[in-house]
Amino acid sequence: MKYIKSTIFLLLFIPAMGFAQDEAVVLKAKDYSNYLPQVGDISIGADALPYLEFLGNMFNNTEDNTLDLGENTLYFKYFLTDNTAVRAIISINNNSTNERAYVADDKLRLNPLNPNALAEDLMEDRNRDMSIKVGYQIYKTRKRLAGYYGAQIGYGYGKSSNEFTYANPYTAMNQTPSSYNFDDNAFGSSRILESTSGTTSTISAGVFIGVEYFFMPKISIGGEYALDFQHSWSGQSNGTSESWNGSSVVKTDTPVTPQQSSSSFATSRPATYGGLFLSFYF
């Protein structure tokens, strides 16, 4: 009877010990799958360094701490599988700036009661910049750390112009009107009305390598470098000016610079902030 009880104890105890050991292994090996992206996920990212600098300045008690977002660059990804994705990096920077300057109001100053009358000249500065890169990348993951590599192609477009408005017009009575010299008198005795840069286009192709660390589920911080071949070309830039020819106002179109082109083969970053970015996955 004693032998039978011992046998039954061993038959029950040994499997229980094995089950307990297996459970301990499962508990010890933490599952990180909920941290990492999966097939069908979409990622949206932005430059990280402005946020890191802002937080660092908060802890350092830096005065006048502001969030400077700088480059307008966004990162998008769509996961074809758990370890592969197509992506796009888009940068758009369209801005307009008005610069005003005081000049003598020639007409009002003819009146002795207004010897110090002032008027405003205006320069409108417009810039249009856009670029997009599309690529394919492959991930290699280890727990919450994901390295990746891939290839991409890109296109960029840029154009700028300045327009000038003057308070004092050319007339037969005022053949040398008071004007603010915004452009350092680029057209001699005449004054500039408009300057336009030639449209600049850029094409690129290359490879990239990077790493992401998922510090929270589906939220990562990463860095990247790329090796790209780039070729850029731009059209002729022109200027329009006005002057007095002795009897009337004459407008003249003048070529400023001829067509330009350049090529490069170098390492680059997706943004000016050292290639650091934050990504959110959905």
pLDDT of residue 224 exceeding 50:
yes
pLDDT of residue 233 exceeding 50:
yes
Rounded Cα distance between 40 and 160, Å, is 40
Q: Are 182 and 99 in contact (CB under 8 A)?
A: yes
Q: Are 34 and 52 in contact (CB under 8 A)?
A: no
Average pLDDT score over residue span 195-211: 93
Of the chain, the percentage scoring pLDDT greater than 90 comes to: 59
pLDDT at residue 231, rounded to an integer = 94
pLDDT at residue 258, rounded to an integer = 92
Among the residue ranges 21-35, 107-121, 150-164, 224-238, the one predicted with the least confidence is 21-35
Of the pLDDT bands very low, low, confident and very high (cuts 50, 70, 90), residue 21 is very low
Of the pLDDT bands very low, low, confident and very high (cuts 50, 70, 90), residue 210 is very high
pLDDT at residue 92, rounded to an integer = 86
Which has the closest alpha carbon to 58: 47, 68, 66? 66
User: What's the chain's average pLDDT?
Assistant: 82
Give the number of other Cβ atoms within 10 Å of residue 189's Cβ: 9
| E strand spans, the chain | 42-47, 73-79, 84-104, 118-142, 145-165, 191-196, 200-216, 219-234, 237-244, 249-257, 260-268, 276-281
Of the pLDDT bands very low, low, confident and very high (cuts 50, 70, 90), residue 243 is very high
Q: 140-191 pLDDT, tens per residue?
A: 999 899 999 999 999 999 999 999 999 999 999 999 899 998 876 655 578 9
pLDDT at residue 171, rounded to an integer = 92
Q: By CB neighbour count within 10 A (0-12 exposed, 13-18 middle, 19+ buried), where does 195 fall?
A: buried
Among the residue ranges 56-60, 129-133, 259-263, 274-278, the one predicted with the least confidence is 56-60
Average pLDDT score over residue span 234-248: 92
Q: Which residue has the tokens 């508990």?
A: 27
Which has the closest alpha carbon to 49: 271, 270, 213, 273? 273
Q: 112-142 pLDDT, tens per residue?
A: 899 999 999 999 999 999 999 999 999 999 9
Look up the pTM and report it: 0.73
